[in-house]
Amino acid sequence: MPLRIAAVAGAAVVLVGAGAVAAFATAGDGGKTAAAAKSTPQADAPRRPDPRVLEEQRRRLNLERADQAARKDAGRRLELQPKGRKPTPKPTRTPGAYAGNPVPAGEAQRIAKAMLPSFGFDPDTQFGCLVKLWDKESGWRTTAQNPSSGAYGIPQALPGEKMASAGDDWRTNPRTQIKWGLGYIKDRYGSPCEAWAHSQSVGWY
């Protein structure tokens, strides 16, 4: 009987010892695992950019853009005004300087209106008739020429050489042509309105 109790007690001791070994083994393994987990380096978290670095980058980018824009503007200015180029002076017009450069109708009309009083015509009553007359005849063009008759100039002198009596530049100078034309109107019809009335009735003056 005592031998059975001793055997049972020995078995219990063996079992307890085995459990302790297993527990130690388990604890030991867990410690290694924890240590391994603790020693394993983790991936670095993404670092936030330094605001001062970003500000410096933006400042440099703005400076580069401003420099590029300034260079482009300088290039355009050089194209518009190359070095050494002088502004072209506006041509001045003097009597007798109309060759190859017909005067605009408006300017010719201003010349005629200013000359009317010197022929005894009232600009307030006669200028309108004169405008209509020479609009029809030549459109107030100094180089107007009738292809069939050969009449020439603002007053359509026939032949055009008649206007040489008013100046050698009769071919291109509106003042010379108007001077001759007003003299012709005064001698033949008395006034621009009378000449216009005749032109309306027969088609010429």
Q: Show the CA angle centred on residue 17, arms to residues 16 and 23, nearest 5°.
A: 90
For 80-96, write each residue's pLDDT tens digit: 444 445 555 544 443 33
Q: Is the pTM of this model over 0.85?
A: no
Write down the H helix ranges in 81-204.
Answer: 105-115, 123-137, 174-188, 192-202
pLDDT in tens, the chain (205 residues): 444 544 444 444 444 444 444 444 444 454 444 444 455 555 555 677 787 877 888 878 777 877 776 666 555 544 444 444 555 554 444 333 344 445 688 999 999 999 999 999 999 999 999 999 999 999 999 999 999 999 999 999 999 999 999 999 999 999 999 999 999 999 999 999 999 999 999 999 9
| Domain presence at residue 76 | no
| Residue 189 confidence (pLDDT) | 98
Torsion of CA 162, 166, 170, 176, to 10 degrees: -130
Tell me the residue range of the domain where 159 lies.
Answer: 111-202
How many domains does the chain fold into? 1
Sort 156 into a burial class: Cβ within 10 Å, 0-12 / 13-18 / 19+.
buried
Residues 20, 106: Cα–Cα separation, whole Å: 126
| Residue 105 confidence (pLDDT) | 86
Nearest to residue 4, comparing CAs of 35, 12, 116, 63?
12
